[in-house]
Amino acid sequence: MNTFSYTRANDVADAVQNGSVKTNFKFIAGGTNLLDLMKENVERPDHLIDLSRITLKEIEDTADGGLRLGALATNANTAYNQKVEERYPLLSKAILAGASPQLRNMATNGGNLFQRTRCYYFYDLATPCNKREPGSGCSAINGYNRIHAILGTSEHCIATHPSDMCVALAALDAKVNVTGIHGEKVIDFADFHRLPGDQPQFDNILEPGDVVTSLDLPKNNLSKHVTYLKLRDRQSYAFAIVSVAAALELDGDVIKDIRVALGGVAHKPWRIKSAEIALIGKAATVENFKVLAENLLADAKGFGSNTFKIELAKRAIVRALTEVAKAI
């Protein structure tokens, strides 16, 4: 049998300590992604360190008026939490657009950040994949790449990050609280995931043994005009072809604050702050939204079966913003 050891961590320190003495280990939380990958032999850890008993399940106010989401709170408990629903409805909507109720009951907020790409080739050991086996090649670039990235790609990998939740977290300027061997650190969500470059095997900037303890959502005025538009190949239970997390703060029809993050198009949630800032003080019109869409997709590049995403993403952005601007 593919043998591995299993340890239950009592608290974060215990988890970090355990991680510091093991090689080829994986943390496990809800297990909804990791176990699948283990069954497919994509991940073959020698040790599992179970985080699920750690009491990082709370969702509580922060001193500066924001909200802290425990890394081990489930996606379901987060989406249906009253404070999240009232103050960060964008996050609720994004979470509920993903997976299925059963999965969301198991999946944790921490685990969601680490879920791996759904690239067909990444899952199929019969085909080369740089992310799974660095240096073996990328089968998707010249293969079937309907679900692949159009932004921030490299010649080594064109995979997307499949999360819905993370797209909202990116739009909301979340911060990721991490504890590792060298102590605690806070990472801006925009910097958490990385682009594939020549090391597509790394999805994010964490060091081995780093534990995500919580996510902080800063205070904002973005609870009124929000939407999460997810375009996919069936109405439910499918990953995004393109998704848009959109939020507006309006003064009349003048934009005071605007956030647009895209999912399904890159190795990380895609946001260009300068393109958003350019719209502040301007009117919430379709024309202005189109300008933003063009800017967000300016560097987009298709690979054949996913080229349609470039135009589709632009349309989705305009639709999402038009809808939130209307909903007063």
Partner 1 sequence: MKTDYIGKPTSRVDGALKVTGTAKYAAEFSADGLTYGYVVSSTIAQGTIKKIDLEEALNLKGVLQIFTHENVSGLAWFDRSYKDEDAVAGSPFRPLYDKKIRYSMQPIALVVAETFELARYAASIIKVEYTTESHISDLKENIPNSFKAPKGKVGFKPPVSRGDAKEAFENAPVKIASEYIHSAEHHNPMEIYATTVVMEPDGKLTVYDKTQGVSNCQAYISKIFGLSAKEVRVMSPFMGGGFGSGLRPQYQLFLAVLASLELKRSVKVSLTRQQMFSFGHRPASVQQMALSASPDGTLQSIAHTAYGETSMFEDYTEVVVNWSGLVYQCENVEQKYDLVKLNTYTPLDMRAPGAASGFHAIESAMDELAYALKMDPLALRLKNYAERDQNDKKPFSSKALRACYAEGAAKFGWDKRSIEPRSMREGNNLIGWGMATGSWDAMQMKATANAVLTADGKLTVGSGTSDIGTGTYTIMTQIAAETLGLPIENVTFKLGDTLLPEAPLEGGSWTATSVGSAVQSVCTTIKEQVFKLAKKVKNSPFANADLKEVNFDNGEISLKLNPSKTLSITDVMKQSGKVSIEEEATTMPNPIHMLEYSFNSHSAVFVEVKVDEDLGTVVVSRVVSAIAAGKILNPKTARSQILGAVVWGISMALEEDSVVDNNFGRFINHNLSEYHVAVNKDINDIEVIFVEEKDDVINPLGIKGLGEIGLVGVAGAVANAVFHATGHRVYNLPITMDKVLGLSE
Per residue, the 3-state secondary structure of 78-90, as one string, reads HHCCHHHHHHCHH
Residue 29 binding partner per list ligand SF4, ligand FAD, partner 1, none, with a CB distance cut-off of 5 to 8 Å that depends on partner kind = ligand FAD
* Of residues 295-314, those binding partner 1 (CB under 8 A): 305, 307-308, 311-312
* Min dist. Cβ of residue 327 to ligand SF4 (A): 37
What is the size of the binding site for ligand FAD (CB under 6 A)? 31
Q: Given phi > 0 = left and psi -120 to 50 = alpha, else beta, which region is 170?
A: alpha
Contact 192, 118 (CB under 8 A): no
Maximum pairwise Cα distance, the chain: 64
Query: Which CB sits closer to partner 1, 126 or 328?
Result: 126
Residue 123 binding partner per list ligand FAD, partner 1, ligand SF4, none, with a CB distance cut-off of 5 to 8 Å that depends on partner kind = partner 1
* Strand bridging mode 242-251 / 225-231: antiparallel
Per CB under 6 A, which region of 60-68, 128-136, 161-169, 286-294 contacts ligand FAD? 161-169
For 12, phi then psi, to 5°, come to: -60, -45
Q: Which residues bind ligand SF4 (CB under 6 A)?
A: 117, 119, 121-122, 129-131, 138-140, 148, 157-159, 200
CA gap 262, 244 in Å, rounded? 5
Per CB under 6 A, which region of 30-38, 127-135, 196-204, 273-281 contacts ligand FAD? 30-38
Q: According to the binding rule CB under 6 A, does residue 4 interact with ligand FAD? A: no
What is the size of the binding site for partner 1 (CB under 8 A)? 35
Count of CB atoms situated within 10 Å of the CB of 293: 24
DSSP letters spanning 229-250: EEE-SSSSSS--SEEEEEEEEE
Question: Which residues lie near ligand FAD (CB under 6 A)?
Answer: 26-34, 36, 51, 71, 75, 98-99, 103, 106-108, 110-112, 114-115, 162-165, 211-212, 239
